[in-house]
Structure 1
């Protein structure tokens, strides 16, 4: 009997010393509410910007907001469907124009910044809920501990041309991690900050396809960046996927048309002024076009692909 007890104790001690059995890192990530929509982007890439998300919780200060926007930017870039403008450029414009000085970027500010940078859409967002719960259990020979991070992320995709909200959604994310000890041996885990990122990524995971689907509803467009006699310079080129030989119609945007009831901008009066053809690319994402019909356009006129 004594020999049996000794052997059992030794086995437990050995188990407590073996990393494979004493350190049990269990991770689970889930997403609820947001439904993923399969999306196919047509035409060249859209230009999109993502501002730092607002952290409405009492947890993590601005760190959480920056982390959330970083995750979404990464997912949008990985999709290879967008030209994502760097945050530094967005911040520089906001600083120069004295926009978003409160640290919060609303839809109106997003549209102003987006127009300056020639974007098709801007994404704003907030973290409306975040919390970490710790639980555990003590048994005769073992102890276990589990940390659970939960968050809710809200996003809005704003059409820069009209200021209308193309897409609004909320995603919930949960990340879990467990540790264990046997006879005092194993891992005594403190707070694991990686849970923050895992729960945020879980909440944001399905936004990307939905953003692609919603932004793709509007016709692709670019802007006239400069005009030099008969040479037209466009703010889209190789990186955007605008091909040499592509034909576009150019429109001059007139005054805004507003809904008389809501005051929302419905669009602009548009005058078709020219047909142009892309003849070559220049720089990282620019192109040069020639006029094939009509009159020379002006800087900032809008260009759309032939239907």
Structure 2
């Protein structure tokens, strides 16, 4: 009987499909993943188009020796059709109010310390690679690129272009801001004038001339005065600015917060006048995002107004510079003393020793026969070349003759 029971027990155990002690161990997930990846790679057929990885925040690429960084777009959500991220030249990347406009509501959204550290490491590594290859990173002239708006049927990407006479500062006049607000007694117009001049000059691309030192009688927009400003003083543009629509809002939550919270809104409108053509080049206007003007505590209303003006200036400052820098730079022969030719531009304007300049006689104005509008003035007869020898004074220099001669104080000087 025992033998029969043992035989049945053995048969029963052998017929079971599940044996606890015979369970197969699970494979290592990492090994399984590797097998799957390798199998997937084997399945790919040669000739198939490779997928291009999307650029990540902080990525860097080099185009013609110029370094570009993929970073946040300060105009995102403030201007229609602007993408959230754009490629910006490395030497133009300065985290500040530009990023605050887009991402700093409530104090968040700026690049973290980890992101900044990672970005600095990438930049340092790239610079080392460029040095090994003998490529020197180029110095950028502000806003030397444009961006094609997405969503309008265009292919997304950068538009590279060069401004005429790179590295030469344009001379402009910023007229006192006209105050059309209800706060004239607070001097907001004078404040806006100082803030606008400071913002434009901080880029190192323009020189704001004091109109009180030019001895111009009558309107600056008169054709004769505009020509005098352009020929005699080398002033390329005049900015006429109006401040309006300044409103404030304040609130205080009783029982929760004893400090007052204020917001403000302002509008700046700028007309850019070309002294060469005697016509307005462009009309720009900008309003600040009201949510970014938030101030709290004592004098919060006054602080919010100032912040609103700063933000409105920031909204259109870049477009102002693009318009002004599109006008070619020129200066004038001040006098001729033997072999020395004195020029009314020097260190402040961006001239350097050894710089080669071309001299032309004043040209004639060209009028469009159909629109009757001035197109500008063409260069007159070519008179020769000069080479800067010495820079002196605040903004003057003298040069020697390399080619040509018979220069006169009415001749205009251009960068070769």
TM-score normalised according to structure 1 size: 0.72
Describe the shift of the 1:232–1:66 C-alpha distance in structure 2 as closer, same or farther (beyond 3 A): same
Q: Are 1:276 and 2:380 counterparts?
A: no
Q: Pick one of 121, 141, 157 that aligns with 2:272.
A: 157
Aligned residues of 2:179 and 2:244 also touching (Cα < 8 A) = yes
Aligned residues of 1:114 and 1:121 also touching (Cα < 8 A) = no
71-80 or 39-48, which moves further after superposition? 39-48
Q: Are 1:178 and 2:282 counterparts?
A: no
Distance in structure 2 (CA, Å) of the matches to 1:278 and 1:133: 57
The two structures, once aligned, show a CA RMSD in angstroms of 3.2
Using the TM superposition, give the Cα deviation of residue 263 of structure 1 relative to its aligned residue in structure 2, in angstroms: 3.7
Larger relative contact order (CA 8 Å, sep ≥ 6): 1
TM-score normalised according to structure 2 size: 0.54
Aligned residues of 2:282 and 2:323 also touching (Cα < 8 A) = yes
Residue 210 of structure 1 aligns with which residue?
319
Residue 148 of structure 1 aligns with which residue?
263
| 1:254 aligned counterpart, secondary structure | coil
1:85-106 deviation line (CA, Å, top 9, x unaligned): 2x3xx1243xx43335xxxx75
Q: Pick one of 208, 222, 229 that aligns with 1:84.
A: 208
Describe the shift of the 1:106–1:120 C-alpha distance in structure 2 as closer, same or farther (beyond 3 A): closer
Aligned residues of 2:264 and 2:294 also touching (Cα < 8 A) = yes
Using the TM superposition, give the Cα deviation of residue 53 of structure 1 relative to its aligned residue in structure 2, in angstroms: 1.3
Q: Pick one of 99, 113, 123 that aligns with 2:218.
A: 99
Structure with greater strand percent: 1
Q: Pick one of 287, 294, 301 that aligns with 2:404.
A: 294
Using the TM superposition, give the Cα deviation of residue 138 of structure 1 relative to its aligned residue in structure 2, in angstroms: 3.8
Aligned residues of 2:247 and 2:265 also touching (Cα < 8 A) = yes
Using the TM superposition, give the Cα deviation of residue 288 of structure 1 relative to its aligned residue in structure 2, in angstroms: 0.5
Residue 222 of structure 1 aligns with which residue?
331
Distance in structure 1 (CA, Å) of the matches to 2:225 and 2:77: 27
Residue 243 of structure 2 aligns with which residue?
127
Residue 143 of structure 2 aligns with which residue?
39
Describe the shift of the 1:246–1:72 C-alpha distance in structure 2 as closer, same or farther (beyond 3 A): same
Using the TM superposition, give the Cα deviation of residue 239 of structure 1 relative to its aligned residue in structure 2, in angstroms: 1.8
Residue 249 of structure 1 aligns with which residue?
358
Distance in structure 1 (CA, Å) of the matches to 2:315 and 2:224: 26
Residue 343 of structure 2 aligns with which residue?
234
Q: 5+ residue gaps in structure 1?
A: 1-29, 180-188
1:86-129 deviation line (CA, Å, top 9, x unaligned): x3xx1243xx43335xxxx7586983674353212222211132
Aligned residues of 2:384 and 2:403 also touching (Cα < 8 A) = yes
Distance in structure 2 (CA, Å) of the matches to 1:91 and 1:58: 27
Structure with greater helix percent: 2
Q: 5+ residue gaps in structure 2?
A: 1-75, 83-97, 99-141, 145-162
